[in-house]
Every structure is written in C-alpha cells, then in structure tokens.
C-alpha cells in the first residue's frame, strides 16, 4: 500500500509543478502582451558648475557697459568656469535678468567682485533682482541671459 501512496504523492507533485509552470507561462504572456513599446527621450544635459573656477581667457574677456547709456544687454554664458568681469551701467540702481531663447538646460551663477563666494546657480525665470554695491561680476551658466533695468529715463538722476 505504501508503494501506491508514494506513486500517488509523486503524481500529485508532478501535476502541481505542471500547473504552476502553466500558470507562470500564462501570467508572463499576459504581462508581456500588455506592455507597450516606448522610447526614452533623453533629458537635458547635466550642467557643469564649478563654483571657484574662472575661465582661462577670463582676464582678457571683460564686458564693459559701465559708461553706456543702455537699458539692456545679452550675454552668452559658458559652463564650467566664470567669465571675465561684466560691468553693468553705472546708472542702473538695480538690475534684473531673464533667459533669452531656448531655456532647455538654462542656469546662471554670479560671482560679484570682492565677494568670497558665488551666488547661484539659478534656474530659468528665478526672478532674481540684484541690488549690490558692486556693479561688477563674473558669470557662469548655460544659455543666453538678458540683463535689464526697469527705470525709465525720466526717473534717472541726471549729472
């Protein structure tokens, strides 16, 4: 009688294993058939921000607007190092910034003259208003940034 019981147990075991395998195959097929093909769109390139590195040509690449009578000017930024000094017009009491063109990957950082640490990096449209005693700074970032004032000529002090 034990031989018959052992055969029955073995048959039951084999049957259970077959049922489990069939169920696994059915579930796998069901899962795979529901998956839709997709594509991965690469995100923006990672920014390279170096907080205390100036560019090799920084001492030859200053941008002078201190004596200009302008309301705005654009600057194309470089990643990985701070630019030469940028001089904002002396008549500007404060200035604003905003990105120009494609904002994909845009960021900006400022290192004001005579300051021990840079400010930023800032994402696009971060609404930063700068009102510093220094109108001179180095710039690092990705994209083109527009500097502008928001004071009409008739409200500016005249010499």
pLDDT digits (tens, 9 = 90+) for 67-120: 999 999 999 999 999 999 999 998 888 888 889 998 889 999 999 999 999 988
Asked if pLDDT for residue 132 goes beyond 60, the answer is yes
pLDDT at 43: 47
Task: Please tell me the CATH code under which domain 58-155 is placed.
Answer: 2.60.120
* % of the chain at pLDDT higher than 90: 41
> Do 140 and 82 touch, CB atoms closer than 8 A?
yes
Q: How far apart are CA 127 and CA 147, in angstroms?
A: 12
Mean pLDDT value across the chain: 81
Using CB atoms within 10 Å of the CB of residue 98, give its burial: 0 to 12 exposed, 13 to 18 middle, 19+ buried.
middle
**CB neighbourhood size of 152 (10 A):** 8
Q: Please, are residues 73 and 141 in contact by the beta-carbon 8 Å criterion?
A: no
CA–CA gap between residue 142 and residue 79 (Å, rounded): 6
């Amino acid at each position: 009688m034990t031989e018959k019981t052992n055969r029955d147990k073995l048959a039951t075991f084999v049957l259970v294993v077959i049922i489990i395998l069939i169920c696994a195959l059915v579930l796998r097929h069901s899962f795979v058939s529901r998956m839709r093909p997709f594509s991965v769109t690469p995100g923006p390139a990672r920014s390279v921000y170096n907080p205390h590195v100036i560019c090799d040509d920084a001492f030859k690449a200053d941008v002078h607007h201190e004596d200009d009578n302008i309301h705005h000017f654009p600057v194309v930024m470089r990643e990985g190092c701070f630019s030469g000094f940028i001089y904002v017009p002396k008549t500007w009491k404060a200035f604003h910034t905003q990105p120009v063109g494609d904002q994909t990957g845009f960021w900006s950082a400022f290192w004001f003259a005579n300051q021990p640490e840079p400010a930023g990096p800032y994402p696009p449209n971060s609404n930063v208003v700068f009102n510093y005693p220094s109108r001179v700074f180095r710039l690092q970032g990705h994209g083109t940034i527009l500097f502008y004032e928001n004071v009409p000529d008739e409200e500016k002090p005249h010499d």
